[in-house]
Structures are given as structure tokens and as C-alpha cells.
Amino acid sequence: MTNVEEDEVEASRAPLIEHLTELRSRLIKALVAFVLMFFVCFAGARYIYNALVWPYVVAVGSPEKAHLVYTHGLEYLFTQIQVAAFGAGLLAFPIIAIQIYKFVAPGLYKNERRAFVPYLFATPILFAIGAAVVYFIAMPLLMRFSVGMQQLATDSSPSIEFLPKVSEYLSLIMTLIFAFGVCFQLPVVLTLLARAGLIDSEFLKSKRRYAIVVVFILAAVLTPPDVISQFALAIPTLLLYEASIFSVRMVEKQRAEAEAARAAAG
């Protein structure tokens, strides 16, 4: 290897080391944010738990009727840890997203950074809307259905009572919140793909029937095996797919106007 080739290797190695150092710094900051939020959420795990149980309370009518059980001594402790991790992920997400943006931003042009910022704000908003659909619509409906399946004891039949386990109930609602929150990112993902020139509105319209099938398959995988939660996820996601087509059209319109302006200036 000649001296010139060695110099080129060293020159390319330096930016790589700088990028790795920057990545390490961003990862540490994101991890510290998550750990700090975890301890905060663990200290207030009971309050988070009480908030997550609200859909069940609504279904049964009052807190006195909402009974959840645990069947071994450490189950509730592990559930508190799970709840704390869930809350930490939600609270630390803005900080983590900012760290990701600060790592990616230096490689973007100024106009690309301006275009990226709205999606940075849209992501947590759409996630919150998805979580709200679970909290105020999907879970209360699912709990009412489950409670309605109970059987009162009679002379000829025993009672069948709905007594959800703490771990199973909280795992269910946290899984649904995560699934809905992720699926509600569909407009952001598709619009970014359109900005990158990978898809267009005609492509999305032509693939609509396949999108319907894929959405219902994902809803079946991500939600419990009941029709209520599956439709509660699938229908809003399909509406968001239609909203994504409109958003992609807007991107195409802006791109066409920018190209026309450049052509006129040229």
C-alpha cells in the first residue's frame, strides 16, 4: 500500500470514528434519560397502575367492583417493574427522538432539516392519539364484553366470574397502546417515503386492496384474539392509510410547485 493510499484510509477512518463517538454520546444520553424516567415511574408505579386500570373500572361501574388478582408473591413486583419500564419509554421518548434527530441532522441539508422537523412533532402526537383510542374506546369496550360474559350462580349452574390477573391485564393494555401507537405512525412513514421518492399517491391507491388485507393481518397479530380489539385497530389504521394518500398528494403538489419555480427562475 502506497503512502497516498494509506493517507486516504486514515482520512476515511477519522470521520467514521467521529460518527461512532457521536453515536455513543447520543446513545448514552438516551439511556440515561430512560433510566432516570424508569426510577421516577417505579416510584409512582401505583399511580400509573391506577390510571391503566381505569377502563376496567368504567366497565364494571365503580372502583369497588374492579377486582384484579395476582397468583404468586412476586407477580405484582414484576408488574410494577413492567409498568415503570412502559412509563419510562413513553416519557423518555421525546428525549430519545431529539437525540436521534441531532445525530441525523448534520447529514441533512437545511431544507431537509426543515422538512423533517414537522414529522418529529407529529410522531408523538399520533402515538398519543393511538393510545387515547385504546384507553377511551378499545379497552372499555373489551372489558365490557368480558364482564358481560359472566354467569351468575343458579340452582342448576355455578357462577362464572371475570377475575383478570394484574399482570395479564396490564400486559394487555400496554401491548395495545404500543400496537396502536406504532400503527398510527403510518402517515408519517408513508409521507417520508414519498418525500424520498420511493412511493407516490398512485402507488398507494393501486395497492389499497392489499393494504386492507395486510392491516387486518397485522391487527390479528398485534391484538388479542377477539374481534373488538382487532377492528378497533384495523379501522383507524385504514382511515390513516387514506389520510396518508392525501398527505402524499400534498407532498407531490409542493414538489411540483418547487420544480415549476426553479424552471421559471432558470
Contact predicate 100/31, CB 8 Å = no
Confidence check: pLDDT of 18 > 50: yes
Q: Is 25 helix (H, G, I), strand (E, B) or coil?
A: helix
Q: What is the pLDDT of residues 104-145, one digit of tens each?
A: 877 777 777 777 778 888 888 999 999 999 999 989 988 888
Contact predicate 30/99, CB 8 Å = yes
Q: What is the pLDDT of residues 51-80, one digit of tens each?
A: 999 999 998 888 888 888 888 878 888 999
Confidence check: pLDDT of 5 > 70: no
| d(C-alpha 194, C-alpha 250), whole Å | 10
pLDDT of residue 28: 94
Helix ranges restricted to H, 44-74: 45-52, 54-60
pLDDT band at 92 (very low <50, low <70, confident <90, very high): very high
pLDDT of residue 107: 74
pLDDT of residue 266: 62
| d(C-alpha 157, C-alpha 237), whole Å | 42
Contact predicate 184/236, CB 8 Å = yes
Q: Cell digits for 228? A: 373488538
pLDDT band at 9 (very low <50, low <70, confident <90, very high): very low
Q: Residue 44 gets which letter from DSSP?
A: T
- From the list 205, 217, 197, the residue with the least C-alpha distance to 241 is 205
The share of the chain scoring above pLDDT 70, in percent, equals 93
Q: What is the pLDDT of residues 205-260, one digit of tens each?
A: 999 999 999 999 988 888 777 788 888 889 999 999 999 999 999 988 888 887 88
